[in-house]
Amino acid sequence: MKRISVLQLMLACFAFVYSQGVTWSVDLNTVFDNREGDKHYSDNGTIFLTRVSPEIGFSFMNGTQKIAGGVSWLQPCGDDWKKQKAKAVVYYRYNTPELRMSFGIFPRTQYIEQLPAFLLSDSIAYREPDIRGLLIQYVKPGGYAELSLDWRSLQSETKREAFNINFNGRWNPCGAFIIGGHAQLNHLAKQEKAPEGQGVNDDIMVNPYIGFNLSKATSLDSLVVKTGALVSLQRSRMAGGWQNRAGLLVNAVAEKKRISIEETFFAGKGIMPLYPLFGTLLNMGDPYFQAPLYSRTDVNFHFIRNRFVNLQASLVFHYTEKAFGFWQQLKLRVFIDNKLWKTRNDKTSHAEWLRNNY
């Protein structure tokens, strides 16, 4: 029996992969975010980052499954190589019209709906673009549900174990009426050989809502209004029992051609009582939600918005009883993959315009 050489094995593997279908993509993001205002909840400063994420893989089973790998390269502008960060991306993806799953390390862009600011702040979304764990999605014509596990930190002598579980869901039972919700469990455990006084902490947030998609009833391109409760349960096991907070959350988004305005309003009791103790280790949402009364207004202008490029400028206004913040943002995303490349010259393609990650 003849031995199979390494070269023959590699050629056989390449032939198998090629016969099944090579997949590839390149995702480029640049963010300029200048922050000014009071420092009561959020520091001033400028965030200027560029990230590129090339991937290559192969699909099989009629394209419903694939294995892909690549790298996510994050480079702060003006820092040369000092603060660059490169992380591996490798995952399995199962994709059918109703059921979708990902396992491994994969981009947050696979979410059907990006996490709202009270669950994931802009700052963290910029620097942590990938999910490290799993994502399960169920999609129907009238709605969807998705559940993810993001293992943020593995326990070691210097790091605390940390993970979060997220749920997004929305259903359109009839007409313009929609029902949905968001939920998150953040768990922050101890490090190995933890120092005295370090304990286990939990953060639970739930946001059930009802709303209306009024796009067809107005001259606007899109108008969606949602209102619901925002409930927080947080616990530091070393400091005592649960601290319960709740309030009213209203969100409205209006779009007309290249301009969109989004208003988020919260009134209640600040939902992050443990933020002063643990910061983003436990609470990954925007720290402005510590305030009992908070309004965020985003005014966005899309310079370019098509299947491949989204270049957006935003003015963001934060109002609380104690602080005011004014952010000026410029965000660019360029994305291309093997499917889009094949139809790049097809003027009749019905692919939706590219959305930003954040």
Name the residue ranges covered by the structural domains of the chain: 6-342
- The rounded Cα 37 to chain-centroid distance in angstroms is 25
Q: Would you state the pLDDT for residue 25? A: 97
pLDDT value, residue 1: 44
pLDDT the model gives residue 111: 96
pLDDT bin (cut points 50, 70, 90) of residue 134 is very high
Q: How far apart are CA 245 and CA 270, in angstroms?
A: 7
How far apart, in whole angstroms, are the C-alpha atoms of residue 325 and residue 315?
Answer: 11
User: 6-342: CATH homologous superfamily?
Assistant: Porin (2.40.160.10)
**Separation CA 66–CA 22 (nearest Å):** 9
Tell whether the model's pLDDT for residue 2 goes beyond 70.
Answer: no
Q: What are the pLDDT digits (tens) for 212-223? A: 999 988 999 999
Which pLDDT does position 17 carry in this prediction?
52
DSSP designation for 291: S
Q: Name the least confident of 5-14, 54-63, 211-220, 310-319.
A: 5-14
Q: Is 209 strand, coil or helix?
A: strand
Mean pLDDT of the chain: 91
Query: Per-residue pLDDT tens for 3-20?
Result: 566 666 555 555 555 556
Reported confidence tier of residue 156, pLDDT bands at 50, 70, 90: confident
